[in-house]
Amino acid sequence: MSKVENVYLVGVIPGPKEPSLTEPNNYIRPLINVFLFSWMRGHHFSRSASNETLARIVRSAIAIVVNDLPGACCLAQMASHMSHHICTICLLYGKEKLGDKNYHSWQKLNNHMMRASAMKWRDATNENGRKDIFDNYGVRWSELW
């Protein structure tokens, strides 16, 4: 069960328009850096609310990010559910597959392949290369990767 004391509202991306395609990375990069530091080295607390003499190292991680579907695609830099990459979980491709109920044939996206594709997108040297990667895999670089 989630506890409100474990919920951490980092910020709200200002409007009035939603950020451009890769702009969310600019907002989450500083946050990722804080969590990366915390996970790798930990944060030292000289005391806690329940014990004023017991120092401890605390490590933090992002366990889950909660968004609506457009927000999730935006943060993860995945193709929109309105594109031919109709799902962020499986390899189902093409809007004509929207009525496909043969669930057992759907193959899960491979997380390692998606991360590798996102890294290729990040490291591509030109926009045509990035477009090819996005068209084929439906992913761009996100700081969450």
Residues that bind Zn ion (CB under 5 A): 87, 89-90, 92
Q: Closest CB to Zn ion among 24 and 138?
A: 138
Q: Closest CB to Zn ion among 87 and 116?
A: 87
Q: Closest CB to Zn ion among 108 and 112?
A: 108
Shortest distance (Å) from residue 37 CB to Zn ion: 34
DSSP 54-121: --EEE----------HHHHHHHHTBPPTTSSB--SSB--BSGGGGG---GGGPPBPPHHHHHHHHHHH
Q: Closest CB to Zn ion among 66 and 89?
A: 89
Shortest distance (Å) from residue 13 CB to Zn ion: 27
What's the CA gap between 96 and 19, in Å, rounded?
Answer: 29
What's the CA gap between 84 and 93, in Å, rounded?
Answer: 5
Q: Closest CB to Zn ion among 8 and 103?
A: 103
Residue matched to tokens 């506890």: 3
**In whole angstroms, how large is the CA radius of gyration of the chain?**
19
For residue 19, is the peptide bond before it cis, meaning its omega torsion is within 30 degrees of 0? Answer: no
Shortest distance (Å) from residue 9 CB to Zn ion: 29
What's the CA gap between 45 and 7, in Å, rounded?
Answer: 19
Shortest distance (Å) from residue 112 CB to Zn ion: 18
